[in-house]
Chain A
Amino acid sequence: MQKIDRLPNELNKLTEAIISNDDVVLSKLYTTNYSKVKDYILKNSGSGDDAKDIFQEAFIAVWRNVQTGKFLPDSETVFAGYLYKVSKYKWIDFLRKGQRTKVISFEETDAIELNGFEFLKEDDEQYLGSIQKNFLKLGNTCKEVLIKFYYKRLPLKTIATNYNWTEATAKNNKYRCLQQLREFLK
């Protein structure tokens, strides 16, 4: 059996902030790294919209790898370096797939070393895409509860207070929402 991707028990400060989806840290990592990627894409036959799309997909790919313990950046510089490389890789991949006529030289392509950076397996990628779509079918309360618990990592007690529930109700409702999502995915 393949090892399950899981975070180690002890994390450095930056990784912990990314895992906890700290808005301040994530938005800073996003806003401070965008311009460099945008410049690269604009210089390589892309548009502003391309830059935004590619950067966001790269940002999500790097974030996913932090969430699953595959990448544990110990500084913003390390994070920025990876994000830039992944963005370049994604842009070249996009050009290579023939979605654009102009193709960057092989020298340029070969220069991108991802240093062991792994993207998700295609099956997992597809399953995640399906989760994105089916998540939208959930009721608003379910969506909020799941985001509050898993993304914002709010304690059940806080979620219960928000909805005037008992903690046990919050726990059961969270489980029920997750089960509903599983059903949608079948």
Chain B
Amino acid sequence: MNDNYKIPDTNFERTESYLMQKMTNEEHQVFEKELTTNGQLYNYVQETRLLILGIKENGLRNNIDSWHKVFANNKPAKKVNLSLPRWLAAAAIITVIGLGAWFVFFNKNQHERLFAQFYKPDTGLVTAMSTTDQYEFDRAMLNYKTGNYDKALQAWQTLLLSKPGSDTLHYFIASSYLATGNEAKALASFKKVEENSNSYFLKDTYWYIGLLLVKEGREAEAKSYLQKSNHWQKDKLIESLKK
């Protein structure tokens, strides 16, 4: 796109200002009066109004599915009526996929397998619009909860610049890194949370650090972290490490 393109349409700017409430009262009155006598301008405004509405609707439609993701786990199973030959074919495919998955799963490193078995991303905090300070955090939390980890991470890192000591920010930055597979950075951020012995997120942090250490095969260190966590599956994981 170049800088030489000039806006030729004098009506456009006025129309846009009118539709986006950017006119002064006086400009507004003059424009509305003109609309009653100038049919061409009237049609142009109507068309531009729909055009802008259509563009905005595209923006809305792009977001709507991500908002729906929070209900994804509650989606009822679809009823499928399979005839017998199809049923047999489906069973065969499922068996092949199942065997393949079993083969891949059991050939994976045992530590990675345990990590995959026990790791679930933190579910995040309940967001509620309140103060301005909270606003950006909540917006990022919404992205986090709908799986837009990169967006959430970006916003929280910006907030961290003004609140470098926030254990909440470090915790969710770590959780976002972990959810996107960036384990080294996740561990570094969880370690920042650990520095705050009063953190609300301390016990959860122990769990995730423990899990990361399990994945790296550092069993002894992992156990000491897991012992300090209060995760409901900590005993099961420690037991699995003994096998």
- Do A and B share a complex? yes
Interface residues of A (CB under 8 A from B): 1, 4-7, 9, 21, 23-28, 30-31, 34, 38, 42, 47-49, 52, 56, 59-60, 63-64, 67-68, 124, 127-128, 131-132, 135, 141, 143, 146-147, 150-152, 165-166, 168-169, 171-173, 175-176, 178, 181-182, 185
Answer yes or no: B236 CB below 8 A from chain A CBs: no
A-B contact sample (10 more), CB < 8 A, given A60-B64, A146-B55? A9-B28, A31-B67, A56-B68, A60-B61, A128-B57, A131-B58, A172-B5, A175-B7, A176-B5, A182-B51
Cβ contacts A to B, 17 pairs, < 8 Å: A9-B21, A24-B138, A27-B146, A28-B129, A31-B67, A38-B71, A47-B76, A60-B57, A67-B56, A128-B57, A131-B57, A135-B55, A147-B55, A150-B59, A168-B3, A172-B6, A178-B51
Contacts of A128 in B (CB 8 A): 50, 53-54, 57
Residues 66-107 of chain B, each 1 if its beta carbon lies under 8 Å from chain A, else 0: 011011000110100000000000000000000000000000
Interfacial chain B residues near A131, Cβ < 8 Å: 50-51, 54-55, 57-58
Q: In the complex the two chains form, is B36's CB within 8 Å of A1's CB?
A: yes
Interface size class of B (residues with CB under 8 A): 35 or more
The reply to whether B142 and A24 contact each other, CB–CB distance below 8 Å, is yes
A132 near B53 with CB under 8 A, answer: no
B contact residues vs A (CB 8 Å cutoff): 1-3, 5-7, 9, 12, 18-19, 21, 25, 28, 35-36, 39, 42, 45-47, 49-64, 67-68, 70-71, 75-76, 78, 127, 129, 135, 138-139, 142, 146
Which residue of B is nearest A163, CB measured? Answer: B1
Interfacial chain B residues near A38, Cβ < 8 Å: 71
Bound complex: CA A49 to CA B65 (Å): 13
A60 in complex: contacting residue of B2, B39, B60, CB < 8 Å: B60
Contact call B49/A64, Cβ cutoff below 8 A: no
A56-B64, A147-B58, A171-B7 known; A181 vs B46 contact (CB < 8 Å): no
Q: Are B54 and A4 in contact (CB under 8 A)?
A: no
